[in-house]
Amino acid sequence: MRSPLESLMSGMELHILVISAWADLLNYEEKFKQKGSIARLFCSVNMLVRLIIMTL
C-alpha cells in the first residue's frame, strides 16, 4: 500500500492512521460547537490500545 488513504477503497481494511486522523479532526471540530452542546471525545487508536493494555 502506498498510502494509508488507499485503505479507504472499498474492500480494504481501514488503516489505523486513517482512524486516528479522523478522530483528531472530529476532536478539533468539537472546539467550535455552540456553548451548552453535549461534549464528545473521539478516541484515537493509540488511546484504545493503552486502555486495553492497562486492563490486562
Lookup: cell for 22: 479522523
30 touches 24 (CB < 8 A):
no
Torsion of CA 38, 16, 13, 6, to 10 degrees: 100
Domain count, the chain: 1
pTM over 0.85: no
Kindly give the confidence (pLDDT) of every residue in the chain, 56 residues in length, as a single tens digit, with 9 standing for 90 and above: 568 878 888 888 888 888 889 999 999 999 999 999 999 999 888 777 766 677 76
Quote the domain boundaries for residue 20.
4-55
